[in-house]
Amino acid sequence: MNESINQVQTKYLNLNKTIVLESSKTLSNIKIAYETYGKLNENGDNAILICHALTGDAHAAGYHSKDDKKPGWWDTMIGPNKAFDTNKFFVICSNVLGGCKGTTGPASINPDTNKPYGHDFPVITIEDMVKVQKELIDYLNVKKLTVAGGSMGGMQAIEWTIKHPEYVKSAIIIAAAARVSAQGIAFNAVGRNAILQDPNFNNGNYYEGNHPEKGLAIARMVGHITYLSEQAMHNKFGRDFKQDKPNFDFGVDFEVESYLDYQGRIFVDRFDANSYLYITKALDYYDPIEKYGGLENAFNKTNAKFLIMTFDSDWLFSTESAKEIVNALIKKEKKVSFIELSSPCGHDAFLIEWEKQARIIKSFLKEE
């Protein structure tokens, strides 16, 4: 049995420079929340940067205190002898720019006003997230690294290989694509609309009053539909009623409604509605295919070795969409391993089916 890392803590780096964003706007006084596990070697080349998905954070592994009920979000994969083996590697995870888990985002204090940014926070992109991560990597004296992530984390990994080819030894891209589909944008747009229309939203300046929790909960419900496959929903809930029979009212009636209702309710306690707006927008905008006139061009300079993993029931980031990355890499004669794993869990599989992934990642990292 592999053990978990004990007693980790989130650290903070304050950047003493101004970052120019993709939108041409600037951000100063950026704080980055991050955690590290394992030790960096002398050459600074045994690092693995873990990039988190839409609602993740820097706390990827271990426990913050003995009282913690749950370890970090990818604890199954990060630790001694695990897929990302902390006996060998220096594993880093940081909260993304625009997030609400310690790194500067719309809920942070705007130094110009001494109030939370709200919608004075500039719209950020995946490129901007990576730009900020690069500052952290330099600060930590990392010279070479592996980048790994699922879903939006996979997009950040792609961006690393494009923007910093001299740094990236290998990239592990799980349940991700080079860009979101029109349908993916549509789902994100519905979620954003639910937040924007919430009467508590107040143009994003709600931090002193009630938060737009109802809108955020609806956004999360929509999200969860896309994270599960139809089959997974059928297997988990079917058409079962919560109380064995129809209530003939508009309360929570079916098990699947109860699940979504619960997911919506618990989410608002741990996430900021503005961060949801900013990060989904970053997701929607990311499009290296358009930006570079094809993925082949985007990958021109990379010498990284790629591992692309998908799940057959993932309809948010389908195998078909991930194959765009694979095919571009093959065309450019880059090193790429591709595997589609079978799972009924849909997009969520990247967090659930860790054993299959762990075996593959371990072997992929051993080859280096």
Residues that bind a copy of itself (CB under 8 A): 23, 25, 119, 122-123, 179-183, 185-187, 189-190, 192-194, 196-199, 214-215, 217-218, 221-222, 225, 228, 230, 233-234, 236-239, 246, 248-250, 253-254, 256-257, 260-261, 264, 277, 281, 284-285, 287, 290, 315
Enclosing H/E stretch for 34? strand 31-37
Shortest distance, position 302 Cβ to a copy of itself, whole Å: 23
Cβ 58 vs Cβ 35: under 8 Å: yes
Residue 133: closest CA among 46, 283, 22, 19: 19
| Catalytic residue flag (residue 94) | no
The active-site residue, picked from 75, 313, 347, 348, is 347
Shortest distance, position 269 Cβ to a copy of itself, whole Å: 17
Residue 34 or 121: the one with the smaller Cβ distance to a copy of itself is 121
Residue 92: closest CA among 1, 43, 42, 153: 153
Question: The sheet that has 168-174: what strands, in order across it?
Answer: 11-14, 31-37, 90-94, 47-51, 145-150, 168-174, 305-311, 335-341
| Catalytic residue flag (residue 347) | yes
Residue 291 or 356: the one with the smaller Cβ distance to a copy of itself is 291
Other Cβ atoms closer than 10 A to 131: 21
The active-site residue, picked from 85, 198, 272, 314, is 314
Residue 158: closest CA among 335, 292, 325, 321: 325
3-class SS of residue 219: helix
Residue 72 or 184: the one with the smaller Cβ distance to a copy of itself is 184
Residue 6 or 231: the one with the smaller Cβ distance to a copy of itself is 231
Shortest distance, position 360 Cβ to a copy of itself, whole Å: 27
Shortest distance, position 291 Cβ to a copy of itself, whole Å: 11
| Catalytic residue flag (residue 151) | yes
Residue 171 or 195: the one with the smaller Cβ distance to a copy of itself is 195
Sign of the CA dihedral running 102, 187, 124, 158: positive
Shortest distance, position 352 Cβ to a copy of itself, whole Å: 18
Beta-strand pair 26-27/19-20:
antiparallel
CA–CA distance, 262 with 290 (Å, rounded to integer): 38
Shortest distance, position 62 Cβ to a copy of itself, whole Å: 34
The H-assigned helical ranges of 8-89 are none
3-class SS of residue 55: coil
Residue 54 or 222: the one with the smaller Cβ distance to a copy of itself is 222
Angle, alpha carbons 215-220-222 (nearest 5°) = 100
> Annotated active-site positions, please?
151, 314, 347
